[in-house]
Amino acid sequence: MALRLLRGKDGRLTAYAQVAGGVARWTEDRPGGSSWTGPWLIEVPGLSQVTVAQGADGYAHLLGTRRTEDKDGPRVDIVHATQFQTGRPLTAWHSLGTPHPKDRAKARRIGPPAAALDSTGALRVFVRNAGGGVSARRQDPKGTWERWTDWKGTHLLDGLSAAATADGRLELFAPAGKGAALRWYQPKPGAAPQRGEDIPADAQPDSASAVESSPGTLTHYWRDAHSGEVLAWRPDAPAPARLGGATGTGPVAAVRAVVDGHDCTVLAHRDTATGALAVAAYPCEDEAAGVWWTPSGEPGAHTPALAIDGRGRVVLAALGLDGGLLVARQKTDEAGLALEAWTRVGRG
């Protein structure tokens, strides 16, 4: 699980990270403040491949793969819990089963879950199924779960990326073999999702992410399977744009932010060449302007996350080698994307 950093309705940030035995959670004591509470361990035996999705209501939905053992042998299911308010306990974990309820061997071959909420408040959960396609399950706004459905597709790799625009139009990016990625999208808020044209993307598994780069438009990012470079694409782009960062690893963290009065996209990843984090910022949807990666943070920091805090500042968070949370905030009195000194919050 990549570290996730979400802002609640009260303006406070919450960080979530998968740890041994479950999920660690840290919470700001006040919006934009320097003190945090945590880590608090959310215990879930056998939990892995955790993701977190957030809707317009601010609720945080945690999903993961749970592996257990019973009298019939190994068992795999997707589990879900909800945090309704910042700093409050989660609901009980609820099993969503898998797309293969009668075949445990197939269930063990599913991929990690991805999730997003649409304009109606419905939560959709996606997994790569044992046949290499996409299976989805929907929770309606009243909390009722529908059955797993088959969205088709073939040759999918791990690392589905689901996201939604501010107006609630959902998109799913699914890396596949043979030099393509599959995409599903809602043409308008509340519409039934439909399959889009394949994207010319030879993506590394588990490297995709997305951010709303302008009202109603998502930009998708992934790493090229051959060069390791970060690429960016959105529906109106003629071809993916190369953003460098070939020495990085995993999906990039991305957030839309104001830098020097300009509407920008901020990216972060771990640079394997230096062992530290690297950060870049460029004008939203203007990849041709160039992207320069700048080292930031102490060596060993990994799984970065980005968010905007309750005071409108960019916040970069990461995990240290000891499992502690590291946090750096945007300086407001310097030009460019300058960050304050790192603060160590606590050990996971």
Q: What is the CATH number of the domain that holds 189?
A: 2.120.10.10
Model pTM score: 0.96
Whether 271 maps to a domain, the answer reads no
pLDDT of residue 167: 94
Q: Is 221 in contact with 252 (CB distance < 8 Å)?
A: yes
Nearest Cα neighbor of 43 from 18, 14, 26 is: 18
What single DSSP character describes residue 107?
H
- pLDDT category at 347 given cuts 50, 70, 90 is low
- Per-residue confidence (pLDDT) for residue 1, from 0 to 100: 55
Asked if 266 and 306 touch (Cβ cutoff 8 Å), the reply is yes
**pLDDT tens, residue by residue, 198-244:** 999 999 999 999 999 999 999 999 999 999 999 999 998 889 999 99
58 Cβ partners below 8 Å, 6+ apart?
8, 9, 85, 86
Decide if 100 is inside a domain. Answer: yes
Tell me whether residue 187 is in a domain.
Answer: yes
**DSSP tag of 99:** S
Domain count, the chain: 1
Domain membership flag for residue 62: yes
Residue 267 in domain: no
258 within some domain: no
Question: What tens digit of pLDDT does each residue of 307-342 get?
Answer: 999 999 999 999 988 889 999 999 988 888 989 999
| Residue 279 maps to a domain | no
Q: Is 214 exposed, middle or buried (0-12, 13-18, 19+ CB in 10 A)?
A: middle
Report the pLDDT averaged over residues 160-165.
Answer: 98
Domain that holds residue 195: 4-246
Above 70 in pLDDT, residue 346?
Answer: no
Asked, for residue 21, whether it belongs to a domain, the answer is yes
Residue 253 has pLDDT above 80, yes or no: yes
